[in-house]
Homo-oligomer: A and B are copies of this chain.
Amino acid sequence: MQLRMTNQREIILSELKKSRQHLTADELYDRVKKDMPRISLATVYRNLEILSEAGLIGKLEISGRQKRFDYDVSEHDHIYCAICHRVDNLDIDRQGLHAREIKAVKGYRVSGYRLEIVGICPACQKKQEKKEKEK
């Protein structure tokens, strides 16, 4: 099962990379459609799955909502906005955690962990302040 670099796959990949955001399949679909109007959403889903399996992009399955895909494949954690669900990459030292983690496993064979910081992004903070004033 070898990978073919089709036109649609190439565009999906480059559109995600150049976005520098953590897009959902349908957000990406909207962008890709501009270059390739007949592409189908199913193709976007299929390719995102394949690309993330191939290690060319990252897959984010954060807190029960829509999957997002990451242009950055290096190991890192995420912060996301509880209001608008925007996601940003974080640079946290992962060393300290490992020691703590390994003690806590209760019989599990640990393969990794996911750390998500939750908060309110700058844009949504501003919106809240505005609402506050209007009262």
Contact = CB atoms under 8 A, between A and B. Distances in A.
Number of copies: 2
> Dominant SS at the A interface?
mixed
Contacts of A108: 79, 81, 88, 117, 119-122
**Size bracket, chain A contacts:** 35 or more
Interface of A: 61-65, 67, 79, 81-82, 88, 90-93, 96-97, 100-101, 104-122, 125
25 contacts: A61-B64, A62-B63, A63-B114, A64-B64, A79-B105, A79-B106, A79-B110, A88-B106, A90-B104, A92-B100, A93-B100, A104-B117, A105-B117, A105-B119, A107-B121, A109-B120, A109-B125, A110-B117, A110-B119, A111-B119, A111-B120, A112-B118, A113-B116, A113-B117, A114-B116
Most chain B C-beta atoms within 10 Å of own C-beta, residue among A92, A97, A119, A122: A119
Nearest to A122: B107
